[in-house]
Amino acid sequence: MSRRTRRRLGQAALYTIATVVLLYTLFPFVWAISTSLKSGSAIFDTALIPPDPRWDNYVEVFREQPFGRNILNSVIVAASTVLLSLALGLTAAHALGRVTFRGRALLLVTVLGVSMFPQVAVLSGLFELVRWLGLYNTLPALAFSYLIFTLPFTVWVLTTFVRALPVELEEAAMIDGASSWTVLTRVFLPLLAPAMVTTGLLAFIAAWNEFLFALTFTLTDDRRTVPVAIALISGASAFEVPWGRIMAASVTVTVPLIVLVLVFQRRIAVGLTAGAVKG
Amino acid sequence: MRRSIAAQRRRDAVWFLLPLLVALLIVAGWPLARTIWLSFTDASLAGGAHRFVGLENYAFLIEDPDWWRAVRNTLVFASVSVALETALGLGIALVLDAQIRGRGLLRAAVLVPWAIPTVVSAQLWAWMLHDQYGVINETLLLVGVIEAPRAWLADRTLAMASVIAVDVWKTTPFMVLLLLAALQTVPVDLHEAAQVDGAGAIRRFMVVTLPVIRPALLVAVIFRTLDALRIFDLIYVMVGNASATATMAVYARQHMVDFQDAGYGSAASTLLFAVIALATALFITLGRLTAPPAAR
Q: Residues A101-130: what's their mean pLDDT?
A: 89
Question: What's the gap in Å between the CA of A5 and the closest CA on chain B?
Answer: 17
Residue B230 lies in a domain: yes
Q: Is B12 a member of any domain?
A: no
Contact: A131, B47; criterion CB under 8 Å? yes
My answer on whether A184 and A88 are in the same domain is: yes
pLDDT of residue B117 exceeding 70: yes
- Judged against a pLDDT cut of 60, whether residue A250 lies above it is answered with yes
Chain B residues with beta carbon closer than 8 angstroms to that of A253? 117, 120
Spatial separation of the C-alpha atoms in residues B55 and B42, rounded to whole Å: 11
Task: Based on the fold, state whether residues A156 and A20 are members of the same structural domain.
Answer: no
Q: Please give the pLDDT value at position A42.
A: 80
Segment A175-194, tens digit of pLDDT? 887 887 888 888 888 888 88
Does B127 contact chain A (CB < 8 Å)? Answer: yes
Residues sharing a CB contact under 8 Å with residue A267, sequence separation 6 or more, in sequence order? A194, A197, A198, A201
What residue in B sits closest to A270 (Cα-Cα)? B181
> Which residues touch A61 (CB under 8 Å, ≥6 apart)?
A67, A233, A245, A248, A249, A252
Supply the range of the domain harboring residue B171. Answer: 63-286
**How near does any CA of chain B get to the CA of A16, in Å?**
11
Q: Which of B22, B25, B112, B237 to mutate to test the interface with A (most CBs of A within 10 A)?
A: B112
How many structural domains does chain A have?
2
A129:B280 CB<8 A: no
Residues of chain A positioned with their CB less than 8 A from the CB of B27: 122, 126, 144-145, 147-148, 151
- A120 and A216, same structural domain? yes
A36-50, B221-235, B272-286: least confident range: A36-50
- Which residues fall within 8 angstroms of residue B167, CB to CB, at 6 or more apart? B77, B81, B85, B228, B231, B234
CATH code of the domain covering residue A267: 1.10.3720.10
Query: Which residues of chain A have a CB within 8 Å of the CB of B253?
Result: 120, 123, 212, 216
Least confident segment among A112-116, A253-257, B124-128: A112-116
In a domain, B219, yes or no: yes
Could you tell me if B265 lies within 8 Å of chain A, comparing CB atoms? yes
* Domain contains A135: yes
Number of structural domains (chain B) is: 1
* A72, A41: one domain: no
The whole domain housing A35 covers 3-54
A142 shares its domain with A18: no
Rounded to two decimals, the ipTM of the complex is 0.89
Q: How many residue pairs from chains A and B have C-beta atoms closer than 8 A? A: 323
Q: Say yes or no: B1 contacts chain A, CB-CB below 8 A.
A: yes
pLDDT exceeds cutoff 90 at B31 = yes
Q: In this structure, is the dihedral angle defined by the CA atoms of residues A222, A205, B227 and B278, taken in order, positive or negative?
A: negative
**pLDDT reported for residue A133:** 94
Close Cβ partners of A173 (under 8 Å, ≥ 6 residues apart): A182, A183, A186, A187
For residue B219, the model assigns a pLDDT of: 85
Q: Calculate mean pLDDT across residues B110-123.
A: 91
Between A21 and A238, residue with greater pLDDT? A21
pLDDT band at A278 (very low <50, low <70, confident <90, very high): very low
B171 touches chain A (CB under 8 A): no
In this structure, the answer to whether residues A78 and A44 fall within a common structural domain is no
SS (H, E, C) B10-73: HHHHHHHHHHHHHHHHHHHHHHHHHHHHHCCECCCCCCCCCCECCCHHHHHHHHCHHHHHHHHH
Check whether B291 has a pLDDT greater than 60: no
Query: At residue A172, does pLDDT exceed 60?
Result: yes
Q: What is the pLDDT of residues B48-98, one digit of tens each?
A: 788 899 899 999 999 999 999 999 999 999 999 999 999 999 999 998 888
Tell me, yes or no, whether B239 lies in a domain: yes
CB contact under 8 A, B118 and A88: no
- Cα dihedral B202, B205, B211, B212, rounded to 10, equals 180
Coil, strand or helix: which one is A138? coil
Answer for the pair B107, B96: CB distance below 8 angstroms, yes or no.
yes
- Looking at residue B234, which CATH number applies to its domain? 1.10.3720.10
Q: Say if residue A170 is in the same domain as residue A43.
A: no
How do residues B118-155 score in pLDDT, each as one tens digit?
999 999 999 999 988 888 998 899 898 888 888 899 88
Residue B292 has pLDDT above 50, yes or no: no
- Does residue B143 belong to any structural domain of this protein? yes
User: Does A178 share its domain with A243?
Assistant: yes
Do B178 and A274 make contact, defined as CB atoms within 8 angstroms?
no
Within 204-263 of B, beta carbons closer than 8 Å to A belong to 214-216, 218-220, 226, 229-230, 232-233, 236-237, 249, 252-253, 256-257, 262
Rounded distance between C-alpha atoms, residue B58 and residue A213, angstroms: 25
Asked if the structure places residue A59 within a domain, the reply is: no
Sequence-distant (6+) residues with CB within 8 A of B173 are A25, B89, B110, B111, B112, B113, B114
Q: Which residue of B has its CA nearest to A47?
A: B135
β-strand partners of B41? B52
B140 contacts on A by Cβ (under 8 Å)? none
B33 vs B186, which has greater pLDDT? B33
